[in-house]
Homo-oligomer: A and B are copies of this chain.
Amino acid sequence: MRHLKTLQCIADVAASGSIRQSAARLGITPSALTRKIQDFESELGTPIFERMPQGMRLNAAGELVLRHIHAQLADFERLRSQLADLSGVRRGHVTIAASQAFAHGLIPQEIATYRAQHPLVSFSVLVRDHIHAVSAVAGFEADVALVIAPPPAPEFQPLLILHQPLCALMSKDHPLAAAATIRLRECLQYPIAMPGPTLAIRHLLQAALVRLGLPVHTVVESDSFEVLRSYASGENIISFQIRAGVPQVSGNLVAREIDQRDLPPTQLVLGQLRGRSLSVAASKFVDQISSSLHSRYGDGRTG
Protein backbone atom coordinates (compact mmCIF):
# COMPACT_ATOMS: atom_id res chain seq x y z
CA MET A 1 0.00 0.00 0.00
CA ARG A 2 1.45 3.25 -1.18
CA HIS A 3 0.67 5.50 1.74
CA LEU A 4 1.91 2.95 4.28
CA LYS A 5 5.20 2.23 2.54
CA THR A 6 7.22 4.76 4.51
CA LEU A 7 5.71 3.56 7.76
CA GLN A 8 6.55 -0.04 6.96
CA CYS A 9 10.10 1.00 6.12
CA ILE A 10 10.46 2.70 9.48
CA ALA A 11 9.05 -0.30 11.29
CA ASP A 12 11.45 -2.57 9.47
CA VAL A 13 14.47 -0.41 10.23
CA ALA A 14 13.41 -0.23 13.85
CA ALA A 15 13.21 -4.00 13.96
CA SER A 16 16.45 -4.74 12.15
CA GLY A 17 18.43 -1.82 13.51
CA SER A 18 20.20 -1.41 10.18
CA ILE A 19 19.37 0.63 7.10
CA ARG A 20 21.35 -1.54 4.73
CA GLN A 21 19.81 -4.74 6.02
CA SER A 22 16.29 -3.34 5.79
CA ALA A 23 17.01 -1.89 2.36
CA ALA A 24 17.98 -5.30 1.09
CA ARG A 25 14.87 -6.91 2.56
CA LEU A 26 12.61 -4.16 1.19
CA GLY A 27 14.20 -4.31 -2.23
CA ILE A 28 15.41 -0.71 -2.38
CA THR A 29 18.76 0.93 -1.95
CA PRO A 30 20.06 2.19 1.39
CA SER A 31 20.14 5.73 0.07
CA ALA A 32 16.46 5.74 -0.78
CA LEU A 33 15.72 4.36 2.64
CA THR A 34 17.81 6.86 4.54
CA ARG A 35 16.12 9.66 2.63
CA LYS A 36 12.69 8.31 3.43
CA ILE A 37 13.54 8.37 7.10
CA GLN A 38 15.07 11.81 6.93
CA ASP A 39 12.03 13.17 5.14
CA PHE A 40 9.73 11.65 7.69
CA GLU A 41 11.76 13.04 10.56
CA SER A 42 11.80 16.50 9.05
CA GLU A 43 8.04 16.40 8.46
CA LEU A 44 7.59 15.32 12.05
CA GLY A 45 10.02 17.93 13.32
CA THR A 46 11.86 15.44 15.50
CA PRO A 47 14.47 12.75 14.93
CA ILE A 48 13.09 9.33 15.75
CA PHE A 49 16.31 7.35 15.40
CA GLU A 50 19.61 7.55 17.16
CA ARG A 51 22.42 7.09 14.66
CA MET A 52 25.08 4.93 16.21
CA PRO A 53 28.13 3.35 14.60
CA GLN A 54 26.46 -0.03 15.04
CA GLY A 55 23.31 1.11 13.28
CA MET A 56 19.97 2.76 14.01
CA ARG A 57 18.08 2.68 17.27
CA LEU A 58 14.76 4.29 18.12
CA ASN A 59 14.83 7.17 20.56
CA ALA A 60 11.97 8.02 22.93
CA ALA A 61 9.96 9.79 20.24
CA GLY A 62 10.63 6.87 17.92
CA GLU A 63 9.09 4.45 20.38
CA LEU A 64 5.89 6.46 20.29
CA VAL A 65 6.01 6.64 16.51
CA LEU A 66 6.57 2.91 16.22
CA ARG A 67 3.57 2.18 18.42
CA HIS A 68 1.53 4.48 16.19
CA ILE A 69 2.79 2.74 13.06
CA HIS A 70 1.94 -0.69 14.39
CA ALA A 71 -1.52 0.54 15.29
CA GLN A 72 -1.96 2.00 11.81
CA LEU A 73 -0.87 -1.17 10.08
CA ALA A 74 -3.06 -3.31 12.28
CA ASP A 75 -6.04 -1.06 11.70
CA PHE A 76 -5.49 -1.18 7.97
CA GLU A 77 -5.38 -4.94 8.13
CA ARG A 78 -8.68 -4.82 9.96
CA LEU A 79 -10.11 -2.60 7.22
CA ARG A 80 -9.07 -5.08 4.55
CA SER A 81 -10.70 -7.84 6.49
CA GLN A 82 -13.91 -5.84 6.81
CA LEU A 83 -13.94 -5.09 3.10
CA ALA A 84 -13.47 -8.75 2.26
CA ASP A 85 -16.32 -9.64 4.57
CA LEU A 86 -18.46 -7.07 2.82
CA SER A 87 -18.07 -8.85 -0.46
CA GLY A 88 -19.09 -12.14 1.09
CA VAL A 89 -15.76 -13.89 1.42
CA ARG A 90 -13.90 -13.74 4.65
CA ARG A 91 -10.18 -13.48 4.24
CA GLY A 92 -7.34 -12.25 6.37
CA HIS A 93 -4.67 -13.46 8.71
CA VAL A 94 -4.89 -14.18 12.40
CA THR A 95 -1.89 -14.49 14.69
CA ILE A 96 -2.49 -16.11 18.05
CA ALA A 97 0.03 -16.45 20.84
CA ALA A 98 -0.72 -19.41 23.05
CA SER A 99 0.74 -21.32 25.93
CA GLN A 100 2.35 -24.56 24.95
CA ALA A 101 -0.43 -26.43 26.74
CA PHE A 102 -2.79 -25.64 23.87
CA ALA A 103 -0.39 -26.04 20.98
CA HIS A 104 -1.33 -29.65 20.37
CA GLY A 105 -5.02 -30.09 20.92
CA LEU A 106 -7.10 -27.01 21.34
CA ILE A 107 -5.58 -24.49 18.95
CA PRO A 108 -5.12 -26.70 15.87
CA GLN A 109 -8.61 -28.07 16.35
CA GLU A 110 -10.18 -24.62 16.60
CA ILE A 111 -8.23 -23.42 13.58
CA ALA A 112 -9.35 -26.44 11.60
CA THR A 113 -12.98 -25.80 12.52
CA TYR A 114 -12.65 -22.16 11.53
CA ARG A 115 -10.86 -22.82 8.29
CA ALA A 116 -13.49 -25.34 7.29
CA GLN A 117 -15.88 -22.42 7.04
CA HIS A 118 -13.41 -19.74 5.94
CA PRO A 119 -10.58 -21.31 3.99
CA LEU A 120 -9.18 -17.95 2.86
CA VAL A 121 -8.17 -17.04 6.40
CA SER A 122 -4.62 -18.01 7.32
CA PHE A 123 -3.18 -18.41 10.80
CA SER A 124 0.07 -18.00 12.67
CA VAL A 125 0.50 -19.66 16.03
CA LEU A 126 3.21 -18.39 18.36
CA VAL A 127 3.94 -20.72 21.24
CA ARG A 128 5.07 -18.54 24.14
CA ASP A 129 5.03 -18.67 27.90
CA HIS A 130 2.49 -16.43 29.62
CA ILE A 131 4.87 -13.47 29.97
CA HIS A 132 5.98 -13.45 26.34
CA ALA A 133 2.50 -14.15 25.01
CA VAL A 134 1.27 -10.97 26.66
CA SER A 135 4.25 -9.03 25.29
CA ALA A 136 3.55 -10.39 21.83
CA VAL A 137 0.05 -8.99 22.04
CA ALA A 138 1.32 -5.68 23.38
CA GLY A 139 3.90 -5.44 20.61
CA PHE A 140 1.43 -6.11 17.81
CA GLU A 141 3.11 -9.41 17.01
CA ALA A 142 -0.08 -11.30 17.83
CA ASP A 143 -3.74 -10.38 17.58
CA VAL A 144 -4.83 -12.39 20.59
CA ALA A 145 -3.29 -14.57 23.25
CA LEU A 146 -4.59 -17.68 25.00
CA VAL A 147 -2.62 -18.15 28.20
CA ILE A 148 -2.66 -19.66 31.65
CA ALA A 149 -2.46 -17.25 34.59
CA PRO A 150 -1.32 -14.16 32.65
CA PRO A 151 0.57 -11.53 34.62
CA PRO A 152 -1.67 -8.57 35.39
CA ALA A 153 -0.96 -5.89 32.77
CA PRO A 154 -3.15 -2.86 32.04
CA GLU A 155 -2.68 -3.13 28.29
CA PHE A 156 -3.86 -6.75 28.22
CA GLN A 157 -7.63 -6.89 27.97
CA PRO A 158 -9.26 -10.22 28.86
CA LEU A 159 -12.02 -11.29 26.50
CA LEU A 160 -12.78 -14.60 28.20
CA ILE A 161 -11.75 -15.94 31.59
CA LEU A 162 -12.21 -19.55 32.57
CA HIS A 163 -11.25 -21.17 35.84
CA GLN A 164 -9.81 -24.56 35.15
CA PRO A 165 -8.70 -27.37 37.44
CA LEU A 166 -5.34 -29.00 36.94
CA CYS A 167 -5.39 -32.60 35.75
CA ALA A 168 -3.08 -35.50 36.38
CA LEU A 169 -2.09 -37.33 33.21
CA MET A 170 -1.52 -41.07 33.35
CA SER A 171 -1.93 -44.21 31.30
CA LYS A 172 -5.40 -45.67 31.41
CA ASP A 173 -4.13 -48.76 33.28
CA HIS A 174 -2.71 -46.65 36.05
CA PRO A 175 -3.97 -47.52 39.55
CA LEU A 176 -5.22 -43.96 40.06
CA ALA A 177 -7.17 -43.95 36.79
CA ALA A 178 -10.14 -45.55 38.47
CA ALA A 179 -11.19 -42.47 40.46
CA ALA A 180 -12.87 -39.44 38.91
CA THR A 181 -10.87 -36.94 40.91
CA ILE A 182 -7.75 -37.59 42.90
CA ARG A 183 -5.81 -35.96 45.68
CA LEU A 184 -2.40 -34.50 44.98
CA ARG A 185 -0.87 -36.60 47.75
CA GLU A 186 -1.96 -39.77 45.95
CA CYS A 187 0.01 -38.67 42.90
CA LEU A 188 3.17 -38.35 44.95
CA GLN A 189 3.17 -42.09 45.61
CA TYR A 190 4.19 -42.51 41.98
CA PRO A 191 7.04 -41.17 39.90
CA ILE A 192 6.39 -37.73 38.40
CA ALA A 193 7.17 -36.24 34.98
CA MET A 194 7.51 -32.64 36.08
CA PRO A 195 6.76 -29.63 33.87
CA GLY A 196 9.82 -27.40 33.48
CA PRO A 197 10.14 -24.06 35.21
CA THR A 198 9.21 -22.11 32.08
CA LEU A 199 5.71 -23.61 32.12
CA ALA A 200 3.07 -21.72 34.05
CA ILE A 201 1.60 -24.77 35.73
CA ARG A 202 4.98 -25.59 37.26
CA HIS A 203 4.62 -22.59 39.59
CA LEU A 204 1.14 -23.66 40.62
CA LEU A 205 2.28 -27.19 41.28
CA GLN A 206 5.36 -26.02 43.11
CA ALA A 207 3.30 -23.95 45.53
CA ALA A 208 0.92 -26.82 46.23
CA LEU A 209 3.74 -29.32 46.70
CA VAL A 210 5.55 -27.07 49.16
CA ARG A 211 2.29 -26.70 51.07
CA LEU A 212 1.96 -30.48 51.17
CA GLY A 213 5.52 -30.95 52.41
CA LEU A 214 5.89 -34.44 50.94
CA PRO A 215 8.87 -35.71 48.96
CA VAL A 216 8.47 -35.68 45.21
CA HIS A 217 9.91 -38.43 43.07
CA THR A 218 10.74 -36.57 39.87
CA VAL A 219 11.98 -38.93 37.18
CA VAL A 220 12.07 -36.41 34.38
CA GLU A 221 11.61 -32.67 34.00
CA SER A 222 10.86 -31.13 30.64
CA ASP A 223 9.68 -27.87 29.09
CA SER A 224 7.86 -29.87 26.45
CA PHE A 225 4.39 -31.23 27.09
CA GLU A 226 4.98 -33.70 24.30
CA VAL A 227 7.86 -35.24 26.23
CA LEU A 228 5.85 -35.24 29.45
CA ARG A 229 2.90 -36.88 27.73
CA SER A 230 5.02 -39.60 26.24
CA TYR A 231 6.40 -40.49 29.68
CA ALA A 232 2.96 -40.46 31.25
CA SER A 233 1.51 -42.76 28.63
CA GLY A 234 4.46 -45.15 28.70
CA GLU A 235 5.33 -46.05 32.28
CA ASN A 236 3.55 -45.73 35.57
CA ILE A 237 4.54 -42.09 35.61
CA ILE A 238 2.19 -39.20 36.31
CA SER A 239 2.35 -35.79 34.70
CA PHE A 240 0.13 -32.74 34.81
CA GLN A 241 -1.81 -30.49 32.48
CA ILE A 242 -4.54 -27.91 32.69
CA ARG A 243 -7.91 -29.37 31.70
CA ALA A 244 -8.34 -27.45 28.44
CA GLY A 245 -4.85 -28.56 27.43
CA VAL A 246 -5.72 -32.24 27.60
CA PRO A 247 -5.96 -33.62 24.06
CA GLN A 248 -9.42 -34.99 23.32
CA VAL A 249 -8.11 -38.01 21.48
CA SER A 250 -5.34 -39.18 23.71
CA GLY A 251 -4.50 -42.81 22.94
CA ASN A 252 -4.09 -44.73 26.17
CA LEU A 253 -3.70 -41.50 28.12
CA VAL A 254 -6.32 -40.39 30.61
CA ALA A 255 -6.70 -37.19 32.62
CA ARG A 256 -8.08 -37.04 36.16
CA GLU A 257 -8.82 -33.76 37.88
CA ILE A 258 -6.85 -32.91 40.99
CA ASP A 259 -9.09 -32.18 43.95
CA GLN A 260 -9.58 -28.44 44.21
CA ARG A 261 -8.76 -28.50 47.92
CA ASP A 262 -5.18 -29.26 46.90
CA LEU A 263 -4.90 -26.96 43.91
CA PRO A 264 -7.32 -24.08 43.32
CA PRO A 265 -8.59 -23.59 39.76
CA THR A 266 -6.29 -21.68 37.45
CA GLN A 267 -7.20 -18.74 35.25
CA LEU A 268 -7.28 -19.49 31.55
CA VAL A 269 -7.48 -16.18 29.74
CA LEU A 270 -8.12 -15.23 26.13
CA GLY A 271 -7.18 -11.59 25.64
CA GLN A 272 -6.13 -8.86 23.26
CA LEU A 273 -4.38 -5.51 23.36
CA ARG A 274 -6.61 -3.01 25.12
CA GLY A 275 -8.05 -0.35 22.87
CA ARG A 276 -7.25 -2.23 19.70
CA SER A 277 -10.01 -3.34 17.39
CA LEU A 278 -9.48 -6.69 15.78
CA SER A 279 -9.96 -7.64 12.16
CA VAL A 280 -13.18 -9.38 11.27
CA ALA A 281 -11.31 -12.64 10.85
CA ALA A 282 -9.66 -12.39 14.26
CA SER A 283 -12.79 -11.15 15.92
CA LYS A 284 -14.86 -14.05 14.61
CA PHE A 285 -12.16 -16.49 15.61
CA VAL A 286 -12.32 -15.10 19.11
CA ASP A 287 -16.08 -15.59 19.07
CA GLN A 288 -15.70 -19.17 17.98
CA ILE A 289 -13.02 -20.13 20.47
CA SER A 290 -14.92 -18.37 23.26
CA SER A 291 -18.17 -20.15 22.66
CA SER A 292 -16.36 -23.42 22.09
CA LEU A 293 -14.48 -23.17 25.38
CA HIS A 294 -17.52 -21.92 27.19
CA SER A 295 -19.78 -24.70 26.02
CA ARG A 296 -17.15 -27.35 26.62
CA TYR A 297 -16.00 -26.24 30.04
CA GLY A 298 -18.52 -23.67 31.24
CA ASP A 299 -16.99 -21.56 33.95
CA GLY A 300 -15.05 -24.10 35.98
CA ARG A 301 -15.05 -21.76 38.93
CA THR A 302 -16.18 -23.24 42.17
CA GLY A 303 -14.55 -21.15 44.86
Interface residues of A in 49-94 (CB under 8 A from B): 60-61, 64-65, 68, 71-72, 75-76, 78-79, 82-83, 86-87
Q: How many copies does the complex hold?
A: 2
CA distance A276 to B277 in the complex (A): 9
Give the interface SS of chain A, mostly helix, strand, loop or mixed. Answer: helix
Residues of B within 8 A of A87 (CB): 46
Q: Are B2 and A39 in contact (CB under 8 A)?
A: yes
CA distance A83 to B46 in the complex (A): 8
When A76-B68, A82-B64 are in contact, do A43 and B6 touch as well, CB less than 8 Å? no
| Number of chain A interface residues as a range | 20 to 34
CA distance A71 to B60 in the complex (A): 23
| A153: interface (CB < 8 Å) | no
Q: Are A1 and B43 in contact (CB under 8 A)?
A: yes
CA distance A274 to B257 in the complex (A): 41
| A7: interface (CB < 8 Å) | yes
| A152: interface (CB < 8 Å) | no
Q: Are A64 and B46 in contact (CB under 8 A)?
A: no
Residue of B nearest to A276 (CB): B275
Q: Of B44, B78, B83, B275, which is within 8 A of A44 by CB?
A: B83
CA distance A43 to B3 in the complex (A): 10
Interface residues of A in 223-275 (CB under 8 A from B): 275
Which residue, A2, A7, A46, A72, has most C-beta atoms of chain B within 10 A? A72
CA distance A104 to B112 in the complex (A): 60
| A4: interface (CB < 8 Å) | yes
CA distance A43 to B75 in the complex (A): 16
8 contacts between A and B (CB under 8 A): A2-B43, A3-B3, A45-B83, A60-B86, A64-B83, A64-B86, A68-B75, A275-B275
